Structure 1
Amino acid sequence: MSPPDDPLPGVPDTVERLARATPHGERGRTEISGQVLTRIAERAAAEVPGTAGAGRRAAAAGTPRVRARVDGHLAMVHITMGVVYPEPVRQVAERVRRAVTDRVGALTGLDARQVDIDVVRLVPPAPETRRVR
């Protein structure tokens, strides 16, 4: 049984001592691939209302296309998407940029300073379907 003041209960004493003896920068590193970054950015962009492929209304239009790459601690993301008409294009693009930047930072720790967005089409809203009861 470990003493009550043990900071890491259940961890062997030798592992704890090694962890404390090894400086933070020498413990190893985690690399995030561009493919992982692309998937994260695709999901974040598609979740923003008004983007082509986000939500029920534009599901037939597809999801935004994303190309992404990692350079050190920086993430560069390029998004090609449509906007559901009559949503304001500039505001939708800014919401997408913010969502991608926040999600990439939260999940990977990378700094997504460069998020380029090309709006290539306006997607007509899906017609409302009526249900007869």
Structure 2
Amino acid sequence: MNREPAPPAPPGAGSTTAPAEHRPGTSAPPESRGHTGISDRVLEQIAARAVQEVGQVGGARPRMLGVPLGREAEGTAPRVSGHVEGRMAILRVTLSVVYPAPIRQIVHRVREHVTARVGELTGLEARQVDIDVSRLIHPAEEERRVR
């Protein structure tokens, strides 16, 4: 059993340190890893959920040829349309407000909450949030319908 000695290793082959970009388990800097896109539909769903997190706000009835269908209630979802442009989000929200809540204050709270939640969850800046109040919901109407 005659063994020949192993050939000499090339220079640097025995080194255990490799450049960071070639080491397994390390990744490139975040800005060079790729792009994460948020679709308009996802933006709309996040904004609709954020609107529902604000009290005294209800949904907006869907309409067909200008005629409201169904009913508006505090627990229903608002209508939201949105568009992503680069790092900016543009939103339009249609909702109802429970009467006799102060509409201006409610709309201000909704706008600030939607802006914060969209930024927090997507990283987008919701620079424009237009809000239409389509109807006032009277609490007595809701009680009569439940019975």
Provide the TM-score with structure 1 as the length reference: 0.75
- Structure 2 CA distance for aligned equivalents of residues 44 and 14 of structure 1: 41
Runs (4+) of structure 1 moved beyond 3 Å? none
**Alignment-derived partner of residue 105 in structure 1:** 119
After superposition, give the CA deviation of every residue in 1:40-83 in whole Å (9 maximum; x if it has no partner).
00000012111114xxx723xx3210001100000001001110
Q: Which structure: larger Rg?
A: 2
What is the Cα deviation at residue 24 of structure 1?
3.2
Percent identity, please.
49
- Structure 2 CA distance for aligned equivalents of residues 30 and 109 of structure 1: 10
Residue 58 of structure 1: which of 67, 74, 89 is its match?
74
**Alignment-derived partner of residue 18 in structure 2:** none
**Alignment-derived partner of residue 83 in structure 1:** 97
The reply on whether 1:71 has 2:85 as its aligned counterpart is yes
After superposition, give the CA deviation of every residue in 1:20-53 in whole Å (9 maximum; x if it has no partner).
xx34322101000000000000000012111114
**Alignment-derived partner of residue 47 in structure 1:** 53
The reply on whether 1:114 has 2:128 as its aligned counterpart is yes
The one-letter amino acid of 1:127's match is E
**Alignment-derived partner of residue 94 in structure 1:** 108
The one-letter amino acid of 2:55's match is P
Give the aligned length: 108
- Structure 1 CA distance for aligned equivalents of residues 40 and 109 of structure 2: 22
What is the Cα deviation at residue 115 of structure 1?
0.5
Provide the TM-score with structure 2 as the length reference: 0.68
Structure (1 or 2) with the greater helix fraction: 1
- Structure 2 CA distance for aligned equivalents of residues 26 and 58 of structure 1: 45
What is the Cα deviation at residue 14 of structure 1?
1.8
Unaligned stretches of 5+ residues in structure 1: 1-12, 129-133
